[in-house]
Amino acid sequence: MAGLIRFSVSIDEKLLSKFDRQIEKTGYPTRSKAVADLIRDDLVKDDWKSGKEVAAAIVMVYDHHKRNLSNRLTHTQHDYHHLIISSQHVHLDHDNCLEIVVVRGKPEKVGELANKLKATKGVKYCSLAAATTGQGI
């Protein structure tokens, strides 16, 4: 692990004041931690744009009573088995299920899987939480 480096930043006073309120609201212990997280977020976005291997979570909510929906979702996931690391299925209530699918692979294939799951008739909600493998940050 590399050592810490100090650097200075010139920033508009009003913008810094807003930033300080935001980091206080979100519970950051220091400006440094907040700035480092902003940089990491930008690096992760760059990984997704550049096609490097990424990690993500696909979160879905659906009514498991919908005819054949569970089977269709499972079939789609099997088509992308090489991307899927893990999945978790949670029963939210009598009708609704939450499923989290953890994936790793090329951004275009991860996005393709998320879009296919989202487009499946009967899925109420589907979101892709982009992440990183941690290799480049």
Enter the tokens of residue 43: 């690096």
Taking CB atoms within 8 Å and a gap of at least 24, the contacts of 9-18 are 9/35
**pTM of structure:** 0.84
- Is the predicted pLDDT of residue 136 greater than 80, yes or no? no
d(Cα 40, Cα 31) in Å, to the nearest integer?
A: 14
Mean pLDDT of 47-76: 95
Mean pLDDT of 69-76: 96
Local confidence band at 13 (pLDDT 50, 70, 90 cut-offs): very high
pLDDT score recorded for residue 28 = 96
- Is the predicted pLDDT of residue 12 greater than 70, yes or no? yes
- Is the predicted pLDDT of residue 1 greater than 70, yes or no? no
pLDDT score recorded for residue 27 = 96
The count of other CB atoms within 10 Å of the CB of residue 47 is 20
pLDDT in tens, 107-118: 999 999 999 999
Residue 101: C-alpha distances to residues 38, 76, 93, 122 (Å): 26, 12, 19, 17
CB-CB contact of 40 with 71 (8 Å): no
- Mean confidence (pLDDT) of the chain: 95
Q: What percentage of the chain exceeds 70 in pLDDT?
A: 99
